[in-house]
Amino acid sequence: MRCVVGLLFLGAVTAHAATRFPTLGARLALSGHGSIRACADCHGSQGQGLPHFAYPKLAGLGFSYIFGALQSFADGRRLNGIMTPIARALTAPEMRALAVYYASFRPRPPHVARPADRLRLARGRRYYEHGDMSERLIACAQCHGRRGHGMGARFPWIAGQTEAYMKEQLRSFRAGARRGPGLGLMRNAARPLGARQINDIALYVSILGARPPLSIPVTNAAMPPIVPRRNFVPPRRDAIPHTVFGEAVRRGRAIFDYTARYAAPYVGNALSCGDCHLGEGRESGAGPMWAAAVLFPRSYQGRMTTLAARIQAAFIHSENGRAPPLNGPVLTDLLAYVHWMSRGGVIGAHAPGRGYPPIAEPKRGADAVRGASLYAQRCAVCHGDRGKGVRYNGRAVFPPVWGSLSFGRRASLARMSVMAAFLKRTMPYADPGTLGSGAAYDLAAFLETRPRSP
C-alpha cells in the first residue's frame, strides 16, 4: 500500500504538499520506518543538510542523481557506513519516492564565508574555474558549471554544498574509494589534488551562490603560473590593464572561449578557439597562442602570411565559417588578446611548449579499428557515442569531434599526425598524458575516418 501511495504522487511533491499530504517520500524523509532512520536527521527536512557535518545537501541534486546514488549504495558501487544499510533496506519504489521528495526543493543560498578566508577562497576559485594543467588539475567548472549548478544527473549541483562533505568526497575520489561518472572522470580529476587544494576548493564551493557574494581578491600568492617555469609564462589573468586596450583584451578572451556566442556571424559549427588551444590559449604544449604570436609574419606553405590571416583561416577551416574582416572588431579583439598573452616573449623565437609536442607514428602503423574501441572505452563518456559532444542548457560542455558541428577536413587537427600529438598531450581530459603514442595514433586514425565538413 505504501508503494501505491508513493507512486500516485511521483513528480508532484512540494514542501507544502509534504506537510499537508504525507506521501511515501515525505514519510520516509521525515519519520523513517522500521530499521530506516529519518533522512531529515542528517540531510534536513528540506534537503538543506547540516552545515558543519559531512552530510550532503540533497536540495538541487535532482531526481536522477538522488535515485542513482541510492541505487549505488544499495548495490555496492558506493560504500558508506550509514547510507549502505539504509539503501539496502529500501525498495525501488521507496527510493523513487525519496528522490522525488528531495528533488522538489531548491538549495538555499549559503552563508558568506569570513573575510579572513579570502586568500583561501581566491586559490579555490582559481582551481575551480581554471584548473592548472601544469599540475594536471582539471577545472571543476568544466563539468559542474561556473556557478556550480551542474549538468543533469552526470554532473550534480555542488554550489553551496557543505565544506566538510566536499572535503570528504574529494579525498574519497582521490583515494579511489569513489569512482564517479563514466570511466572514473572524478577519480582522475581528484588524483593530483593535494590537501591544501582540496581544502581550498571545498571552501570555495561551499560559498558559491552566497548573498551577497564575497569579494574575492586575486593575488600573486593565489594565482601561481599556469605553465611550468622552464617555459614562457604569459601575463596573469588579473593583470589585464583597465584601458581601451585592456577592454579589447577582455573581449578577445570572451571570443576565444565562447566563439559561437561572441563571433556568431563567422562561425558555422559548435567549436570555440579554446577547444583546440586549451586553457584559454595559455597552456604550454596544448597549442598556446603566445608561442605562435611571436613567429609572425612568417613563411607558411611557401608564402608569407600574418597572424591575422592565420586566424581568418581558422574561422574558415576549423570553425566551418567565414573570415572576419581585417578591420572588424572580432579580429581586432582576438589579436589584442593574443598579443597581450605574448608580452615578454622573444620575437622570432621557437619557444618551448609551442604547438603540440610531435610524436612518431608506431612502426606497426595506425589502426582505426583499435582506435574505435579506444574511443568507446575512453572518449565516448565526454564526446558521445556518435561524436556529437555534450551540450547543456545551450552550452557546449564537451565539443563534438566529428560531423558538421566539428572542425572541417582542412583544419590542422584533421591531419593524423597533429591529431595524434594533440591527443597524447591533452587527453583524456581528466588524465592527460596517459595515452601511449600508439593509442594516440589509433584514435587519430579512427577520427580521420569519421564524417566531417569539406
Number of domains the chain contains: 4
> Is residue 357 a part of any domain in this protein?
no
Tell me: do 129 and 166 sit in the same domain.
yes
pLDDT of 21-54, one tens digit each?
Answer: 458 999 999 988 877 889 999 998 999 887 667 7
All cell numbers assigned to 44: 534536513
All cell numbers assigned to 104: 522538489
Residue 450 CA to its chain's centroid (Å)? 25
Tell me: do 14 and 95 sit in the same domain.
yes
> Is residue 214 a part of any domain in this protein?
no
> Is residue 46 a part of any domain in this protein?
yes
Tell me: do 290 and 326 sit in the same domain.
yes
Residues of the chain with pLDDT under 50: 1-21, 219-229
> Is residue 348 a part of any domain in this protein?
no
> Is residue 418 a part of any domain in this protein?
yes
Tell me: do 127 and 55 sit in the same domain.
no
Tell me: do 193 and 248 sit in the same domain.
no
Helices 244-257 and 329-341 cross at an angle (nearest 10°) of 100
Tell me: do 10 and 80 sit in the same domain.
yes
What CATH number is given to the structural domain containing 443?
1.10.760.10
Q: Are 281 and 288 in contact (CB under 8 A)?
A: yes
Tell me: do 99 and 192 sit in the same domain.
no
Rounded CA gap, 43 and 191, in Å? 28
Tell me: do 83 and 120 sit in the same domain.
no
Q: Are 29 and 40 in contact (CB under 8 A)?
A: yes
**Residue 331: what pLDDT?**
96
Tell me: do 248 and 337 sit in the same domain.
yes
Residue range of the domain that includes 246? 237-341
Q: What is the DSSP letter of 373?
A: H
- DSSP, collapsed to helix, strand or coil, labels residue 304 as strand
Domain end: 323, 341, 359, which one? Answer: 341
> Is residue 315 a part of any domain in this protein?
yes
Tell me: do 260 and 332 sit in the same domain.
yes
> Is residue 215 a part of any domain in this protein?
no
Tell me: do 197 and 289 sit in the same domain.
no
Write the DSSP string, 379-436. Answer: IHHHH-TTS--EEETTEEEE---SBTTS--TTSGGGSHHHHHHHHHHH-STTSTT-S-
Domain end: 73, 103, 133, which one? Answer: 103
**Residue 316: what pLDDT?**
95
- Prior bond of 241 cis (ω within 30°): no
> Is residue 96 a part of any domain in this protein?
yes
pLDDT of 67-117, one tens digit each?
Answer: 989 998 898 888 888 898 899 999 999 999 999 999 999 888 777 667 677
Look up the pTM and report it. 0.64
Tell me: do 27 and 91 sit in the same domain.
yes
Phi and psi at 319, nearest 5°, equal -95, 0
Rounded CA gap, 260 and 272, in Å? 7
**Residue 345: what pLDDT?**
86
